[in-house]
Structure 1
């Protein structure tokens, strides 16, 4: 049978690296050695205006490059680059059959990372999260067969999370979600089992800055209400 293409669609700092590494514990999965956009053959092209959906890439070159790194004998060919979130329809054109995991995370956790690592002010970070949420919701409307996954469920209920993933894509049934993996976090790059890093991130945000983020979020009640985060922030 032909391989299935699996893309993790998520904003940066959403836990996609953790998920990407855990999925690689499956005997059925082949992943690129890094984000596809960062491979040396593609970096100059794919890192130029990566979040502009109108940026035109040489997809023949992208495909040929990725295929050189993937193991074509595996059932699942895995890729994750956060900017794919804004060009999922293009991925569908070039990689068939395409499967998407839509990974979301608490807006405060992402805003903390944008502020700390990108020096972005809190309102701009919150607005960026809203833009990414909008992209997610549009993908889920267009592709309801995508698998929606929340970071908070993954770290709090990993067995249920990965059982659900295997029900959606049976080739993932041997993922070892207990495996220790290396990923960047608020505490730096460390190797550890799946852990909830949200508490450490949220304690770094001053109360006034939390309110700055929440104030922006509350301008989008209909969007936020479509996620578990509406219950957290719409009543704040």
Structure 2
């Protein structure tokens, strides 16, 4: 038994050494633009990243950037999956905060990106809390914020609560507040950003080509290739781009809707969504 444990520890130590050597040898990415997709969990950030990664001038990380670096604390590790607003004191950063090791982050992300592409794309929902910090430390940073109907978002956050941390999912009041506060921080901090483009999940689902071409224009790139007819593996679905709001909202009870309205109606109004 002791020998088995020793071998496991030795393998882990060797793996860590190998990783550090790779990071040290990796060049620091120097793209023409860094692009950060930001928005609340379950708002379409994964779909948007997958779509943008199909542009010939872009390379998108295959998963959320905060999972690839050891410099950002993870919501899952803190026992608050999909709920960073519970520890806003940890996640929120602005240009005056010292923050983590920027060079190491760039190298860690660069190991998973095609550095021959002029535009590098990252998406992590918690980055909605640190756009101002990212702007300071990532050259020519551009931000694409995406918002979605809060009722659908809150239903998804509650349903997808990590069973290791939240056995029965998040209660509706917390899911509603995560949606409202995340968007509030993102929109308020956007006033300090030089390059910020906002779009709706609903518009992306109904007119993907138009919305993507708007993004290409924002980034100073040629139009996207045709994507409307393509399928995408997003979470548990492999499908074309579709608006999933109705199926999510249908799962909410009258009590859920009342709770959501109590916690988040102000953000519905700010974003122009109808109150149920």
Q: TM-score range by the shorter chain?
A: 0.7 to 0.9
Change (3 A) 1:61 1:29: same
Change (3 A) 1:54 1:133: closer
Aligned pair count reads 223
Q: Is 1:182 the counterpart of 2:239 in the alignment?
A: no
Indicate if the aligned counterparts of 1:86 and 1:135 stay in contact, CA closer than 8 A: yes
Equivalent runs, 1:87-236 vs 2, <5 Å: 87-118=130-161, 119-143=169-193, 145-171=195-221, 173-178=223-228, 179-184=230-235, 189-218=236-265, 220=266, 223-229=267-273, 232-233=274-275, 236=276
Distance 1:128 1:174 in 2: 32
Change (3 A) 1:109 1:32: same
Distance 1:142 1:93 in 2: 11
Indicate if the aligned counterparts of 2:71 and 2:105 stay in contact, CA closer than 8 A: no
Larger Rg: 2
Post-superposition Cα deviations, 1:122-174, rounded to whole Å, max 9, x if no partner, equal 11221221211211211332226311011011112223212222221232512
Indicate if the aligned counterparts of 1:9 and 1:103 stay in contact, CA closer than 8 A: yes
Change (3 A) 1:58 1:46: farther
Scaled by the length of structure 1, the TM-score of the pair is: 0.86
Alignment partner of 2:271: what SS?
coil
Post-superposition Cα deviations, 1:157-215, rounded to whole Å, max 9, x if no partner, equal 2232122222212325124432211102xxxx121110111111111111221122112
Structure 1 residues without counterparts, runs of 5 or longer? none
Change (3 A) 1:83 1:54: closer
Post-superposition Cα deviations, 1:17-62, rounded to whole Å, max 9, x if no partner, equal 11100111111011122211112xx258532556523684222211
Structure 2 residues without counterparts, runs of 5 or longer? 1-29, 79-83, 94-98, 162-168
Post-superposition Cα deviations, 1:68-99, rounded to whole Å, max 9, x if no partner, equal 22222212101001111111111112211000
Q: Is 1:21 the counterpart of 2:50 in the alignment?
A: yes
